[in-house]
A and B are shown apart, each in its own frame.
Chain A
Amino acid sequence: MPDPIQEPIEHDPHVILRVVSKFLIPFIALFAFYVQFHGDFGPGGGFQAGVILAASVILYALIFGLDAAKKAFPPSWIRIGMTLGVLIYGGTGVLAWILGGEFLNYSVLAHDAAHGQHYGIIAIELGVLVTVATVMVAIFYAFGSRQPDMESEDW
């Protein structure tokens, strides 16, 4: 049995940070979606939302460590997410093509042109969100888990 009095002091010096960020992280992620869905009729949009969403993952990694973050947000998602976002964006344009309009002409997406523009921009922003969020996390993971890949005598 480890000593119950000494253990928390030795192993958990950042207890306040941990508790506070545990509170904050869900709200940061939620705020990202607020910015996202606010984006088509006010300031905000996919890019900002993606960065905020990625910030919640990065905060988690800073407080709980890179390994825990990689369990919560696996690196395998990153490659798929980066591609998926581009495909959502491009796919919206291709859909407009299939429905007989120009590339990215959202007006043909619904019976009413104004509705079509609305649906189109939401789909586009979703694509941007997915790609930006995963790219931000990818950059953080890449720097965070960097190992020197070259011995000095190789130069």
Chain B
Amino acid sequence: MDLLSLFPSWLIEHGAAFIIILPLLMGAITSILPSRSLAWWTAFIVTVIVTLTSFGLVLNMMSEGTTVYSMGGWDPPHGIGLVVDALSAPVLLLISAMAVLTMVYGMPATIAEVEPKKRAPFYAAFLLCFAGLMGMVVTGDAFNVFVFLEVSSISTYALVAMGAARDRRALTASFNYLIMGSIGATFFVIGLGFLYMETGTLNMADMARILADLDGGSRVAKVAFGFIVVGLGLKLAMFPLHTWLPGAYAYAPSMVTIFLASTATKAALYLLLRFTFTVFDPSFEYVGTLVKYLLIGVGVVGMIFASLQAIFQTDVRRTLAFSSVAQVGYMLLGIGLATAAGLAAGYLHLLNHAVIKGGLFIALGAFWYRFGITRVEDFQGLSKTMPWTMGAFTVSALSLIGVPFTAGFVSKVNLATAAADKGWWWAVAVIVVTSVLAIIYMGRILLSAYFGDAPEINGEVAKRNEAPLMMLVPMWVLAIMSIAIGSNIFNLGDNFVGAAEAAARLLLGSGA
């Protein structure tokens, strides 16, 4: 690879640790920086460097294959190994790229939403959350996953609570998330404890080997799997465990909502994939049964119910939040198919949905920034007052619905094809029905924006008042990416599909 030679070899060799350590340590430094703009610049530069490093790691992974970094010079399974492979590398790049876009958007948004003296700690918490998410994805040690899960979760609770300056309900939303998230983390760590009891190791590859030797293991391993699935289910907002999500998304500062919606649930979903397919194996009877009946069951029910709930929300933030729960259902359906095509479609939807929801929430944040708008009926005439912002919102909304030539279409078609290949026509029907529901819940927002008249403010028709450039750039980057994935401009669509297929191969191939 030509591009790869541009990266210093040290960075590629130690990159897996660097992408966690840099935001972690700079987060600590950011928290005591005296100047607020200095804090923003520090955080921004950190996210850019981490993104470049992740990009280098992806390139390196494509040419060299899986790499394992031995933390502290102790080789796995005794030490902690950081694993960059076809499954983790794209998610690393996704999280760090979303962090950069969020930081760009966050400069004007944070000034409007967070009290001045809390801004430096706010960016510090953001960097810690970022470090935790990167760590969760890159580590190959099961207990290390729990540690990073807590690093990212605890900083997220603080970040959500900082929405209190804008809306006091952020405090209850954050507390709700704290309780649910802690229960999820506890379930996860109980599961790990049982798994350790069964296998005597914490290294994921080692666990997989021992479990395969034991042919799935005893009842202890079954209990462990149950606990881990429920714990991660809470974190990734699997349908009946999603109740923390709408509140947290709606009342957090908009920058946090964007970052959470496009990365946090994705990282948890990545862990579910990792544990279900590479630590455990669907060929074990209990794993296969649970994947087939439970994941598909809650996935499909979640798709339908959350889409229906999204239709009846008056607050657009809550509409999008319920839509996120529904989209998690699509990904779970893809995982539940447990075929190469199904897993690839689920993984692709994971990446695409981050791009789509990120774009929607950025546009939504811009509407609030200019007009203080969050409710559907207030969207009237936004196509006239904020045409560029509304344009980006529309592109992302169409992508969410799954209109051809957008990212949403690619992943939904792949998912439907995968379901049809398996002969599950009812699943295809569910995908179509929920897409129609998506047309309804996004459509009523678009209708109001395009066909309503601009409201009168103090007797005058509201004037055109476009979002600042710092907000327009990230939202259009994501909107254009959506189209580029859907229409395969710059080969972006092929790259995404290729990454998803490589991940699916790794998931199905590494098991016994």
Which label, helix, strand, loop or mixed, suits the secondary structure of the A interface? helix
A107/B73 in contact, CB under 8 A: yes
Closest to A104 in B: B72
Q: Mark A74-106, 1 if CB is under 8 A from B, else 0.
A: 000001101100110011011011000111111
Interface size bucket, A side? 20 to 34
> Within 8 Å of chain A (Cβ to Cβ): is B78?
no
Selected from B14, B28, B70, B71, the residue in CB contact (under 8 A) with A87 is B28
Min distance, Cβ A23 to any Cβ of chain B, angstroms: 36
Alpha-carbon gap, A155 to B164, bound state (A):
12
Question: Whole-angstrom distance between the alpha carbons of A41 and B78 in the complex?
Answer: 20
A133-155, CB < 8 A from B: 150, 154-155
Query: Number of A-B pairs whose CB atoms are under 8 Å?
Result: 49
Q: Which partner residue on chain A sits nearest B30 by CB separation?
A: A83
Q: Let me know if B72 and A86 touch, CB within 8 A.
A: no
Complex-state Cα separation, A102 to B69, whole angstroms: 8
Quote the shortest CB–CB distance from B166 to chain A (angstroms). Answer: 14
- Is the beta-carbon distance between A103 and B25 smaller than 8 angstroms? no
Name the distance in Å between A81's Cβ and chain B's nearest Cβ: 10
Contact yes or no, B25 A87, CB < 8 A:
yes
**Contact across chains for B21 and A80 when beta carbons are under 8 A apart:** no
Which residue of B has the minimal Cβ distance to A80? B32
- When distances are taken between beta carbons in the complex, the residues of chain B under 8 Å from A80 are 32
Q: Binary interface profile of B, 12-27, with partner A (CB < 8 Å = 1, else 0)?
A: 0010011001001100
Question: Distance in Å from the Cβ of B83 to the closest Cβ of chain A?
Answer: 15
**Whole-angstrom distance between the alpha carbons of A130 and B29 in the complex?**
15
How far is B353's CA from A141's CA once the two chains are assembled, in angstroms? 43
B72 touches A83 (CB 8 A): no
Q: Kindly identify which residue among B14, B24, B32 contacts A97, using a CB–CB cutoff of 8 Å.
A: B14
Interface assignment of B168: CB less than 8 Å from any CB of chain A: yes
Q: Are B72 and A102 in contact (CB under 8 A)?
A: yes
Give A84 to B71 CA distance when docked, in angstroms.
22
Given A83-B32, A105-B73, 12 additional A-B pairs, CB 8 A: A82-B31, A87-B25, A90-B28, A94-B21, A97-B14, A102-B71, A102-B72, A103-B17, A104-B72, A107-B73, A150-B168, A155-B168
Q: CB within 8 Å of A: which residues of B?
A: 14, 17-18, 21, 24-25, 28-29, 31-32, 69-73, 168
